[in-house]
Amino acid sequence: MPQGEIDISILKYRKEKRISQADFGRLVGVKQATVSNWESKKVIPSGKHLERIRELMDSQIPDGKPKSSSDELALLKELLSAKEEIIVHLKTTIDRIKEG
């Protein structure tokens, strides 16, 4: 996939998987703002990020369906893990504020 098409593919991928820019960013290892910049063609992903993006997207065939249910399950587990880490962090922060 040419780099110029990556921005469109990221948006398409996110919409198909129903994940936010922030969630996609966590999967790739960048902030939400970086994903936004990629999608708006302000910035092109670096080599290491481009490789990770391609890994995520390789779990799909052209029609957007996962190659296998295990690929889909792995992605969902990764997303769930990221969300669980955020929840734990938020709970800890809330507890600190209450104690403060």
Residue 64 is predicted with a pLDDT of: 44
Question: In this structure, what DSSP letter does residue 66 have?
Answer: B
Domain boundaries, the chain: 3-99
Residue 37 is predicted with a pLDDT of: 92
The one-letter amino acid code at 34 reads T
Distance, CA of 69 to CA of 72 (rounded, Å): 5
Residue 44 is predicted with a pLDDT of: 86
Which burial class, exposed, middle or buried, applies to 50 when counting CB atoms under 10 A from its CB (0-12, 13-18, 19+)?
Answer: middle
For the domain bounded by 3-99, which CATH number is listed?
A: 1.10.260.40
pTM value is 0.55
The tens place of each residue's pLDDT in the chain, 100 residues long, gives 455 556 568 888 888 888 899 989 988 899 999 999 998 888 888 888 888 888 887 765 344 455 566 777 777 787 777 787 888 888 888 999 999 7
